[in-house]
Amino acid sequence: MSITELLGSMIQSGMTASSGDRLKNALGGGSGGLLENLSSLFGSSAGAGGNMLETLSSKLGGASSGGGGLGGLLGSVLGEAEQAVGGKENLALGGLGALAGALMGGGGKSIGGALGGGVLALLGAMAYQALKDTGAEKPSVPVGLTQPKTESDRQILEEHAKLILRAMINAAKADGQIDQSEVQRIKGKLEEDGISAHEQQFIMMEMQKPMETEQLIAAVRGSQQVSAQLYAASLLAIEVDTPAEQQYLDQLATGLGLTPEVTRQLRGFAGF
Q: What is the pLDDT of residues 222-246, one digit of tens each?
A: 899 999 999 999 999 998 889 999 9
Confidence at residue 137, expressed as pLDDT on a 0 to 100 scale = 67
User: Residues 136, 144, 114, 201: is their CA dihedral positive or negative?
Assistant: negative
- Look at 157 and 55; give whichever has higher pLDDT: 157
Confidence at residue 227, expressed as pLDDT on a 0 to 100 scale = 96
Among candidates 168, 172, 166, 186, which has minimal Cα distance to 240?
Answer: 172
Confidence at residue 73, expressed as pLDDT on a 0 to 100 scale = 67
What does the pLDDT look like over 53-109, one tens digit per residue?
444 444 444 333 333 333 456 767 877 888 888 877 788 877 887 787 777 665 555
For the chain, give every domain's residue range.
Answer: 3-269
| Least confidently predicted of 12-26, 32-46, 84-98, 214-228 | 32-46
Confidence at residue 63, expressed as pLDDT on a 0 to 100 scale = 38
- Look at 55 and 264; give whichever has higher pLDDT: 264
Q: How many residues does the chain have?
A: 272
Whether residue 115 is predicted with pLDDT greater than 90 in this model: the reply is: no
Q: In the beta sheet, which residues pair with residue 260? A: none
Q: Which residues contact residue 176 at a Cβ distance below 8 angstroms, ignoring those fewer than 6 apart?
A: 244
User: Residues 271, 243, 127, 178: is their CA dihedral positive or negative?
Assistant: negative
Rounded distance between C-alpha atoms, residue 254 and residue 249, angstroms:
9
Q: How confident is the model at residue 177 (pLDDT cuts 50, 70, 90)?
A: confident
Among candidates 5, 10, 90, which has minimal Cα distance to 53?
Answer: 90
Rounded distance between C-alpha atoms, residue 267 and residue 257, angstroms:
16
| Least confidently predicted of 20-24, 30-34, 159-163, 225-229 | 30-34
Confidence at residue 153, expressed as pLDDT on a 0 to 100 scale = 92
Rounded distance between C-alpha atoms, residue 220 and residue 118, angstroms:
21
Mean pLDDT of 239-254: 94
Percent of the chain at pLDDT exceeding 90: 30
Tell me, letter by letter, the H, E, C secondary structure of 67-91.
CCCCCHHHHHHHHHHHHHHCCHHHE
Number of H-type helices and E-type strands within the chain = 14, 0
